[in-house]
A and B are shown apart, each in its own frame.
Chain A
Amino acid sequence: MQLNTKDKLQEKLVFTRPQVLNARPHHYCAGCGHGIVHRLLAELIDEFNIQQNTILIAPVGCGVLAYFYINVDGCEAAHGRVPAVATGLKRVHPDNIVIAYQGDGDLLAIGTAETIHTANRGENITVIFINNALYGMTGGQMAPTSLVGQKTKTSPYGRSAEEAGYPIRACELLATLEAPVFIERTSVHSVKQIIKTKKALKKGLSNQIAKRGYSFIEVLSMCPTGWGMKPRAAVDWIEANMVPYYPLRNFRDR
């Protein structure tokens, strides 16, 4: 059987760029997890057919240019204020799909109050939390999620629990609240976990479409540049160091 004609090859295409993922080079470093999560989100926006209805809020941090990569209405927010901006947008347009995309410094340090209170109000939004255990954009400083002993620009001798406290587990914290309908921690360090991440994101978006309320998906994500290691080593570092401290599981599914 001949397979080398152009038409037949196209018929066999099983992997294409999602429609809403813009065909432009992105700024993420090699081995970074953001690109994977962007792609999963783009696939889901296509699958739910919600491109014309979605508003994506980008954080201050590495995800700040997300609105250049995913072809939906986009909004910037001041550092930590993504959930507040999302609240304002959603209250005006309750039928739009509002996605809050945040990093760990944004969501758990400067924006802790907004994170907790937006979840506590049960705003009908989907929060995607990229946990890479440091501040990537500013050059790799210690984040609230940096592990004890982890060396960063601002913890050059390793994070000391005595001085900086212990890393905060966002899902466990939010699971103490009544209002959230979905809380899950996944990772993008393996194919299996990427599939689980897509499932969790899908649940988070379908909850919002069905107006069920607040969904929170934490994604452990590689930062080879910030961690000072090669992409392959970064994948292993998540498995060896992050997963034991940040258990990958569902915390709430109503």
Chain B
Amino acid sequence: MSKKIFMRGNEALAEAAIIAGCRYFFGYPITPQNEVPAYFAMRLPQVEGTFLQAESEIAAINMVYGAAAAGARVMTSSSSPGISLKQEGISYLAGAELPAVIANIMRAGPGLGNIAGAQGDYFQATKGGGHGDYKMIVLAPNSIQEMADLTLLAFDLADEYRMVCMILGDGYLGQMSEPLVLPKPSQKHFDKSGWALTGAAGRETHIVRSLRLNPEDALEKLNLKLQEKYKIVEQKEIRYEEYKTEDAEYLLVGFGICSRLLKSAVNSLREKGVKAGLFRPVTLWPYPSRALRNCAERVKKVLVVEMNAGQMVEDVRLAVNGSVPVDFIGRMGGMFPDVDLIIERINSYAA
């Protein structure tokens, strides 16, 4: 039995990355993710790794690009405005099919906003904040245990599909502490010798690029290859959690920290005899549309709750495709939705 320890979310994430074999971190200070770079700055020298505080978010993501091209496990972390700055780099990583892990410990926007946790970057993360047709795998933890577990998973997914994998947390998950069991490394091995830049000793040269000018390797071919890969990820990597959905008449849907409130709302409603259940997507891309539809088709009404103006709710509506009414409650500016209000709303459906 592994030992339970008490850790802050941002630090659990960083330690899990080190367990995953990440030895390179490039980042830039921004609240509320500052514990991530601070932890790497402390830990990486102990494991012969490299921590570098970049001159900007833009420089950091491009250092990640260089280290990923070199074949290393590498990550960066930031929070919403900083993630906005990284979008061009993310598109380049996607175009060059480089594996990298990025943590977005979301804060409230738009603009400078504030430093409280929020979920306003769902669209940016799942629909592609950068230019061109690309996707990244987006994992949404809802506990400190998952901050660690999903970070470990993120490195394997990134390497397996040569994609960017984002951990979409928020300021609350980053700052709060909970007991967790640190995960064990997966022991999966990924061979990067066919493309990584190491110097062309005893082989043809490798070129890491996304520029495609000639008709014979036209840009559309690269795009078709990427889309094929994304289809496989959609088939194989969907993750979600269902809670008391078997006999549910009302389905709550939420991701990340918000799903914790929804779970307590489900428990309170169940105590009063109201059959409520919770559906929580863990992968925000690929989105668990089919599982959600199966679940939603059995209920009278779906209520989506988010800490934004209504972003994931669009994917819920697409998933259920009109088969059941979908309602929405959202809070912005770093505010938590009120559990009593959620319970009241569900009760109003029954009345």
Contacts and interface: CB of A to CB of B under 8 A. Distances in A.
Interface of A: 51-55, 57, 64-65, 67, 71-78, 81, 84-93, 96-97, 113-114, 116-117
A144 B223 CA distance: 35
A78 B87 CA distance: 11
B208 interface: yes
Given A88-B24, A113-B56, 14 more contacts: A51-B200, A52-B202, A67-B207, A73-B198, A74-B206, A75-B69, A77-B66, A81-B59, A87-B63, A88-B68, A88-B70, A91-B66, A93-B70, A96-B198
Interface of B: 24, 26, 50, 52, 54-56, 58-60, 62-72, 74, 88-89, 92, 96, 197-202, 205-211
A8 to B, nearest CB: 36
Nearest to A84: B62
Contacts of A76: 92, 96, 207-211
Contacts, number: 131
What is the predominant secondary structure among interface residues of chain A facing chain B?
helix
Contacts of A89: 66-67, 69-70, 197
Contacts of B62: 77-78, 81, 84-85, 88, 114
Nearest to A51: B200
Contacts of B205: 67, 71-74
Contact of A84 (B54, B72, B74): B54
Contacts of A117: 54-55, 59
B200 A73 contact: yes
B259 to A, nearest CB: 35
A55 B199 contact: yes
B24 A85 contact: no
A57 B52 CA distance: 20
Contacts of A86: 66
A83 to B, nearest CB: 8
Contact of A114 (B59, B88, B199, B206): B59
14 contacts: A67-B209, A73-B199, A75-B208, A76-B210, A77-B62, A81-B58, A84-B62, A85-B69, A88-B64, A89-B66, A89-B70, A91-B52, A92-B24, A93-B199
A49 to B, nearest CB: 12
A52 B200 contact: yes
